[in-house]
């Protein structure tokens, strides 16, 4: 028998699926819809193993749901904009568009070789003008509804490159590419008003039960709701009070100072004629650029000399500082400091020799001797030194003080969120142009929708630093749509997270004249299952949720949440190797010697093993999917991706593992081929009676159907794989004669159908060899027959004092007293009991009998 030739067989079926448009999705089908989506790839140049895993995981679901009778939408596209294209332009002198489109073409070919059940007719890239033009229209809708606005904001400015850097592009306070110290600059930036939805985005998380708890928790922390109070402090010599936000108004009597952010309006006002304060502001702003600096930063303050009044009690006088640890973006941009109940405030108070009155007495402490040392007490307790709050618990005090402040008109309860508005301006070429025009008389004016898309100019130069759009000779010079005078285009482009915040909705009608075609979006959305990496747990998923809510508000669709089900898959890891000179060595270049040590094949240097780490170019521990598919075929690669490791955990790539998968593919092929002659003479109609052997085989078959279905639905693919191994082992053990039965034929056909989602090419090939004229891809999932789900006998564990002494084979319906009798009849059980007295017998039907002796 010929070995299975994956290469020709896989090509054959990929061609047939494509020609017959098997996976193209259409609305209007009577079947229930199912929208499955994996996060679309960034066209970096080549597919990596992480992609293969991601798309295989989704493809199993797509094919399974199809077989289960769903109208499945499973599209693919490209996250086309982004910085790497500009880096390539800068380094290799290739235009970003050319680079991106070449990468897309290469990666599309690679993806097609995996045999994914994708609807390629809906493919688009976010860098297509047809897509980003629609995005510009959406942006204008956001603007008209007050959800997009411009404001001055601090940014990381690289003075060498004349551009803004993202936080992750700033390393130790320096530009990642230029290496020069980054400056903080205030620039006019576009923002999307995600904070309008803080509460909704947070509250809905609780209902999203098909999302991993971990992701929901991360989003919850990111949105960061805090309940507290806004409190007004009178400022000596001024009418306007100072507003501060606090979560601990109960500790108000313990205040010893107030502090402003360096960017607070009052600070700015005071700094106008105070050069020392201006210098201090500068110092604070420099700190903001380096995460490392923040960590080790000392609490620094600048005494303004101004006094404020405690709004409770005798209106005690407190000094007003400007402090480096107070953020303008959070709460009121100003705080009151209670050193005894907050560690930062305590550090600050110690440094500036301020008082630290204790107001919360921990349980078990004596008020007479209790003192605050180097650690603040932030826990609950009993109020002291707090006048009308004295003796109350912190919880009671919290309520009482808010009542007091509200009735006195000096404060009110307030909820604040950590979530900030989403800054979307990027000083980049390869992104979606923001459709605005700046006019001296009219301000910023939206580009009329009829003029969209605002296309990127193609003739750009990357030879000088900064944004090519900004120094393009003609592109930005236009007439103002308002007054007709000379004006300039906005040269910033949108953050690429905007592109991916709504692509899933565009897939439902990729050629629509408007951003969204409501009927299509309402038919397909929400996405029933979304699959991607945990690295997008916060930003991408939160932005997509935000966009969906806005799209609903704009009347473009009727769903609240885009993703009903979310699954985050693990990474693909590989052993790392380093040679004796410390150079990372590619796995392909490592040979194991007889004594178990390793050497580099090319240089002969000895090599040591490191840890398993995510496949990455920097660690040089990558395995190229193309090589694997060339050598073993896509089915083998797919099978390995889903066997062994649970999809949610990291997968360890090993040569032995991929070879094991390959052997299994061959084994299935052999089983089918070896069975063909017998199947020719097997009856095709179901007999009335089955032999004992046949019942056993049918029981295995139907248990496997039930188990595999359940495991696929629960993303326990590795368990489904284990069941299929057992099934194949069971079938392989059946002799030639017994294969000539209806039951065996059913079992083998079932096996092929169950394998369909996992190794579709091989399954399709065998399906055809077994005489089918229609495609397996169109065949329904096998039905479970309940009568074959229960075994004739089950095994009961017999324990004495909780220790296993014997097992019992009995019919499943044996009752308690029957079980007890049989258990006591066991010789091994009797030996374990010995001459001890039986105190109690615990019988759990179907599980165990446990005898307690004394």
Partner RNA sequence: GCCCCCGUGGCGGAAUUGGUAGACGCGCCAGACUCAAAAUCUGGUGGCCUUUGGGCCGUGUCUGUUCGAGUCAGACCGGGGGCACCA
Instruction: Provide the minimum distance between the beta carbon of 520 and RNA in the complex, in angstroms, as a whole number.
Output: 34
Instruction: Provide the minimum distance between the beta carbon of 98 and RNA in the complex, in angstroms, as a whole number.
Output: 33
DSSP tally for the chain: helices H, then strands E = 25, 34
Give residues with Cβ within 8 angstroms of 200, minimum separation 6. Answer: 549
Token pair listed for 701: 């078959």
How distant, in Å, are the alpha carbons of 19, 66, 651, 715, 755 from that of 635? Answer: 20, 19, 17, 19, 10
727 and 720 in contact (C-beta within 8 Å)?
no
Give residues with Cβ within 8 angstroms of 82, minimum separation 6. Answer: 42, 430, 431, 496
Instruction: Provide the minimum distance between the beta carbon of 854 and RNA in the complex, in angstroms, as a whole number.
Output: 10
**Alpha-carbon gap, residue 427 to 168, rounded angstroms:** 16
Instruction: Provide the minimum distance between the beta carbon of 573 and RNA in the complex, in angstroms, as a whole number.
Output: 9
C-alpha torsion sign, points 421, 466, 430, 132: positive
Q: Which residue has the tokens 């500790």?
A: 251
Nearer to RNA, 35 or 717 (CB): 717
Bridge partners, residue 841, by sequence: 851
Nearer to RNA, 15 or 847 (CB): 847
Nearer to RNA, 605 or 652 (CB): 652
500 and 457 in contact (C-beta within 8 Å)?
no
Instruction: Provide the minimum distance between the beta carbon of 826 and RNA in the complex, in angstroms, as a whole number.
Output: 11
Instruction: Provide the minimum distance between the beta carbon of 420 and RNA in the complex, in angstroms, as a whole number.
Output: 8
Nearer to RNA, 493 or 799 (CB): 799
**Alpha-carbon gap, residue 503 to 536, rounded angstroms:** 15
Instruction: Provide the minimum distance between the beta carbon of 601 and RNA in the complex, in angstroms, as a whole number.
Output: 20
Nearer to RNA, 545 or 716 (CB): 716
**Alpha-carbon gap, residue 426 to 497, rounded angstroms:** 11
Instruction: Provide the minimum distance between the beta carbon of 353 and RNA in the complex, in angstroms, as a whole number.
Output: 19
339 and 371 in contact (C-beta within 8 Å)?
no
450 and 214 in contact (C-beta within 8 Å)?
no
Instruction: Provide the minimum distance between the beta carbon of 160 and RNA in the complex, in angstroms, as a whole number.
Output: 26
Nearer to RNA, 344 or 772 (CB): 344
Nearer to RNA, 602 or 655 (CB): 655
3-class SS of residue 59: helix
Q: Which residue has the tokens 């494509």?
A: 18
Instruction: Provide the minimum distance between the beta carbon of 95 and RNA in the complex, in angstroms, as a whole number.
Output: 34
Taking each helix axis from N to C end, the angle separating 634-642 and 6-19, rounded to the nearest 10 degrees, works out to: 90
Instruction: Provide the minimum distance between the beta carbon of 375 and RNA in the complex, in angstroms, as a whole number.
Output: 10
Distance of CA 240 to the CA centre of its chain: 46
Instruction: Provide the minimum distance between the beta carbon of 588 and RNA in the complex, in angstroms, as a whole number.
Output: 18
Nearer to RNA, 162 or 226 (CB): 226
Q: Is 795 left (phi over 0), alpha (psi -120 to 50) or beta?
A: beta
Token pair listed for 434: 């923001």
**Alpha-carbon gap, residue 457 to 471, rounded angstroms:** 12
Nearer to RNA, 199 or 726 (CB): 726
Nearer to RNA, 600 or 716 (CB): 716
**Alpha-carbon gap, residue 641 to 709, rounded angstroms:** 18
Instruction: Provide the minimum distance between the beta carbon of 755 and RNA in the complex, in angstroms, as a whole number.
Output: 14
Instruction: Provide the minimum distance between the beta carbon of 251 and RNA in the complex, in angstroms, as a whole number.
Output: 9
Nearer to RNA, 294 or 483 (CB): 294
Instruction: Provide the minimum distance between the beta carbon of 417 and RNA in the complex, in angstroms, as a whole number.
Output: 8
Q: How many CB atoms lie within 10 A of CB 546?
A: 24
191 and 151 in contact (C-beta within 8 Å)?
yes
Token pair listed for 59: 């493809």
Instruction: Provide the minimum distance between the beta carbon of 163 and RNA in the complex, in angstroms, as a whole number.
Output: 22
Phi, psi for residue 369 in degrees, rounded to 5: -115, -5
How distant, in Å, are the alpha carbons of 399, 413, 852 from that of 248? Answer: 11, 11, 56
Nearer to RNA, 435 or 570 (CB): 570
Give residues with Cβ within 8 angstroms of 702, minimum separation 6. Answer: 784, 785, 786, 788, 789
Nearest to 530 by CA among 515, 518, 541: 541
Nearer to RNA, 151 or 831 (CB): 831
Nearest to 230 by CA among 416, 464, 79, 490: 416
- Which stretches does DSSP call E strand in 404-503? 411-417, 422-423, 425-426, 436-439, 443-446, 477-479, 486-489, 493-494
Token pair listed for 461: 């130069």
Q: How many CB atoms lie within 10 A of CB 472?
A: 18
Instruction: Provide the minimum distance between the beta carbon of 759 and RNA in the complex, in angstroms, as a whole number.
Output: 15
440 and 485 in contact (C-beta within 8 Å)?
yes
Nearer to RNA, 214 or 479 (CB): 214
Q: Which residue has the tokens 């096998």?
A: 782
Instruction: Provide the minimum distance between the beta carbon of 419 and RNA in the complex, in angstroms, as a whole number.
Output: 8
Token pair listed for 221: 């922390």
How distant, in Å, are the alpha carbons of 63, 321, 709 from that of 728? Answer: 21, 75, 17
Nearer to RNA, 246 or 675 (CB): 246
Nearer to RNA, 389 or 505 (CB): 389
Determine which helix (DSSP H) or strand (DSSP E) holds 721, and give its type and residue range. helix 717-732
Nearer to RNA, 518 or 822 (CB): 822
**Alpha-carbon gap, residue 21 to 668, rounded angstroms:** 28
Nearer to RNA, 176 or 690 (CB): 176
Token pair listed for 604: 């002969």
């Amino acid at each position: 028998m010929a070995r299975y030739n994956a290469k020709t067989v896989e090509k054959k079926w990929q061609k047939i699926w494509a020609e017959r448009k098997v996976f193209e999705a259409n609305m209007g089908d009577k079947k229930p819809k199912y929208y499955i989506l994996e996060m679309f790839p960034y066209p970096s140049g080549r597919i990596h193993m992480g992609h293969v895993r991601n798309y295989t995981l989704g493809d199993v679901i797509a094919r399974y749901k199809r077989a289960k009778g769903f109208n499945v939408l499973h599209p693919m596209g490209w996250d086309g904009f982004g910085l790497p294209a500009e880096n390539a332009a800068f380094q290799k002198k290739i235009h970003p568009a050319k680079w991106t489109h070449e990468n897309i073409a290469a990666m599309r070919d690679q993806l097609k070789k995996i045999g994914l059940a994708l609807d390629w007719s809906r493919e688009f890239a976010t860098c297509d003008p047809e897509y980003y033009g629609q995005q510009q229209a959406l942006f204008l809708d956001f603007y008209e509804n007050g959800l997009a606005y411009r404001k001055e904001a601090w940014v990381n400015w690289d003075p060498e490159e004349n551009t803004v850097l993202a936080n992750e592009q700033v390393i130790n306070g320096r530009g990642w590419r230029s290496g020069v110290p980054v400056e903080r600059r205030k620039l006019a930036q576009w923002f999307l008003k995600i904070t309008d939805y803080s509460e909704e985005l947070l509250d809905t998380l609780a209902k999203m039960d098909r999302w991993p708890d971990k992701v929901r928790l991360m989003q919850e922390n990111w949105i960061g709701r805090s309940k507290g109070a806004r409190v007004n402090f009178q400022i000596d010599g001024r009418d306007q009070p100072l507003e501060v936000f606090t979560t601990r108004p109960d500790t108000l009597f313990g205040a010893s100072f107030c502090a402003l952010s360096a960017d607070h309006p009052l600070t700015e006002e005071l700094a106008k004629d105070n050069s020392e304060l201006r210098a201090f502001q500068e110092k604070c702003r420099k700190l903001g650029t380096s995460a490392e600096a923040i960590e080790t930063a000392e609490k620094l303050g600048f005494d303004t000399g101004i006094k404020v009044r405690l709004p409770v009690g005798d209106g005690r006088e407190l000094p007003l500082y400007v402090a480096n640890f107070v953020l303008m973006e959070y709460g009121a941009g100003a705080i009151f400091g209670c050193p005894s109940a907050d560690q930062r405030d305590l550090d600050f108070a110690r440094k500036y020799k301020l008082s630290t009155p204790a107001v919360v007495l921990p349980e078990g402490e004596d008020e007479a001797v209790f003192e605050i040392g180097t650690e603040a007490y932030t826990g609950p307790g009993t109020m002291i030194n707090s006048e009308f709050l004295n003796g109350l618990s912190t919880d009671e005090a919290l309520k009482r003080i808010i009542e007091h402040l509200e009735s006195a008109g000096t404060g009110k309860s307030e909820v604040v969120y950590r979530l900030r508005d989403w800054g979307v301006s990027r000083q980049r070429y390869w992104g979606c142009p923001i459709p605005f025009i700046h006019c001296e008389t009219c301000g910023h004016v939206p580009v009329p929708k009829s003029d969209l898309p605002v296309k990127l100019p193609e003739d750009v130069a990357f030879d000088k630093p900064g944004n090519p759009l900004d120094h393009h000779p003609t592109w930005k010079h236009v007439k103002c749509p308002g007054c007709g005078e000379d004006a300039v285009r906005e040269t910033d482009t949108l953050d690429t997270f905007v592109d991916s915040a709504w692509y899933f909705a565009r897939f439902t009608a990729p050629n629509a004249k408007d951003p969204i075609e409501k009927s299509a979006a309402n038919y397909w959305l929400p996405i029933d299952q979304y699959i991607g990496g945990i690295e997008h747990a916060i930003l991408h998923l939160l932005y997509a949720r935000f966009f969906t809510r806005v799209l609903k508000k704009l009347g473009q669709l009727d769903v609240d949440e885009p993703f009903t089900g979310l699954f985050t898959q693990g990474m693909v890891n590989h052993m790392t190797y380093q040679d004796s000179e410390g150079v990372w060595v590619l796995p392909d270049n490592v040979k194991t010697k007889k004594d178990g040590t390793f050497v580099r094949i090319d240089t002969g240097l000895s090599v040591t093993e490191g840890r398993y780490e995510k496949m990455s170019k920097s660690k040089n521990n990558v395995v190229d999917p193309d090589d694997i598919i060339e050598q073993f075929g896509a089915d083998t690669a797919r099978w390995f991706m889903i066997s062994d490791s649970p999809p949610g955990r990291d997968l360890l790539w090993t040569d032995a593992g991929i070879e094991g998968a390959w052997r299994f593919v061959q084994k299935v092929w052999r089983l089918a081929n070896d069975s063909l002659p017998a199947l020719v003479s097997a009856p095709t109609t179901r007999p009335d009676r089955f032999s004992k052997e046949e019942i056993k085989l049918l029981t295995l078959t139907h248990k496997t159907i039930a188990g595999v279905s359940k495991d696929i639905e629960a993303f326990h693919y590795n368990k489904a794989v284990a069941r299929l191994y057992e099934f194949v082992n069971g079938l392989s053990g059946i002799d030639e004669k017994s294969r000539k039965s209806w039951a065996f034929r059913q079992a083998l056909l079932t096996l092929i159908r169950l394998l369909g989602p996992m190794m579709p090419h091989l399954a399709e090939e065998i399906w055809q060899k077994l005489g089918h004229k229609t495609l397996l891809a169109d065949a329904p999932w096998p039905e479970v027959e309940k009568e074959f789900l229960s075994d004739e006998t089950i095994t009961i564990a017999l324990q004495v004092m909780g220790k296993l002494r014997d097992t019992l084979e009995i019919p499943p319906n044996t009752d308690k007293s029957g079980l007890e009798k049989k258990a006591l009849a066991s010789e091994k059980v009797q030996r374990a009991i010995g001459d001890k007295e039986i105190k109690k017998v615990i019988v759990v039907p179907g599980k165990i009998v446990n005898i307690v002796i004394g």
